[in-house]
Amino acid sequence: MADWPKAARVALAQGPTALVTILATEGSAPRGAGARMVVTGDALHGTIGGGALEWRVTEQARAILALPPGSWRVQDYPLGPLLGQCCGGRVRLLVERLDPVASEWIEAFEKGEEIVARLETETISRASFPGLRRGSVGARGPLPEAGVEFTEPMETPGSPLILFGAGHVGRAIADRAPGLPLHLAWFDSREDAAAYPGVMLAEESAMIDCARTAPADAAILIVTHDHGLDYKLTAAALAGEAGYVGLIGSATKRARFLSRLAEEGVGAARLICPIGLPGVTGKEPAVIAIAALAQILSLGQRAA
């Protein structure tokens, strides 16, 4: 369980507090349904991911702090031109001002109880209904209105997978990631990569910053079209906290990168290159993709 319930209780004791909840996603999205972020006038707790998405939603959350407790909005965000991106992903969010006198549901949710929410005209009512599931909110279709009931989403267990590159191997990895306990965020800097659903176009500088700031439970796979960009992403990822840093390439490429990293004082003990489970030697994109995903999953199981 994430620590947002504790953050929400502390924030509510200090003043107006907003909660952002991902209700549903489609395609490539930084976090899954159930991810939450607590927002106050001067602080954030938790993350829904996405950089520009989070910045825009934080504005909405702070605006709702001026409204009465219980106020809510449901908002769709296509992860495309609105946020300076171009991909097939989309996120549906609930932004609400938490009501301190109707916040007992947070503790019940923290304990694992099933919580059903009902959108009222001016507020949200919630109650615990063990064993009674009311369904969920989808990522498409009309926005939920007053009268809609749904079970509060709980984020599916899984780790972030940050994939850089939309070439043959990148596409093979992205095609096989759905259904695995991984939350995929997929980036490329080339305009023609927009042809592939799920890719988020980003400037190289933004990709490098993403690699550097990835959380400790993230896996990073670097499979771009450009060795120079590969190196920048590798150095940034190794300077950060990501638990898995995988780089596509041969033993020769690995040796060259290690030499340059050593010259620049970057520790490379975490670098995995070539990627994939040892013993799987096929060079076909599908084989590389399966071997790399299996390697990431196996590392997670060993750490559990």
Angle, helices 227-239 vs 251-263, to 10°: value is: 60
At 160-177, the pLDDT tens digits run 899 999 999 999 999 998
Residue 159 binned pLDDT confidence (cut-offs 50, 70, 90):
confident
CA distances from 103 to 63, 93, 100 (A): 20, 19, 5
At 45-75, the pLDDT tens digits run 988 876 678 888 999 999 999 999 999 999 9
pLDDT of 29 strictly over 80: no
- Residue 38 has what pLDDT? 96
Question: Average pLDDT, stretch 134-147?
Answer: 85
- Residue 86 has what pLDDT? 43
Which candidate, 127, 98, 81, places its Cα nearest to that of 20?
Answer: 98
Residue 304 binned pLDDT confidence (cut-offs 50, 70, 90):
very low
Higher per-residue pLDDT: 230 or 53: 230
Kindly state the tokens that stand for 33. Answer: 């349904």
Whether 227 contacts 204, CB under 8 Å: no
Kindly state the tokens that stand for 145. Answer: 């209105």
Q: Mark out the alpha helices in 35-132 (DSSP H runs).
A: 52-64, 104-110
- Residue 131 has what pLDDT? 55
- Residue 119 has what pLDDT? 95
Query: Residues with Cβ < 8 Å from 127, sequence gap 6 or more?
Result: 105, 115, 116
At 95-107, the pLDDT tens digits run 999 999 999 999 9
- Residue 55 has what pLDDT? 84
At 197-225, the pLDDT tens digits run 888 888 999 899 989 988 888 899 999 99
Higher per-residue pLDDT: 165 or 113: 165
**186 Rama sector, left if φ>0, alpha if ψ -120 to 50, beta otherwise:** beta
Determine what percent of the chain is predicted with pLDDT higher than 70: 90
**CA 210/CA 215 separation, integer angstroms:** 10
Higher per-residue pLDDT: 36 or 87: 36
- Residue 51 has what pLDDT? 66
Higher per-residue pLDDT: 49 or 236: 236
Residue 28 binned pLDDT confidence (cut-offs 50, 70, 90):
low
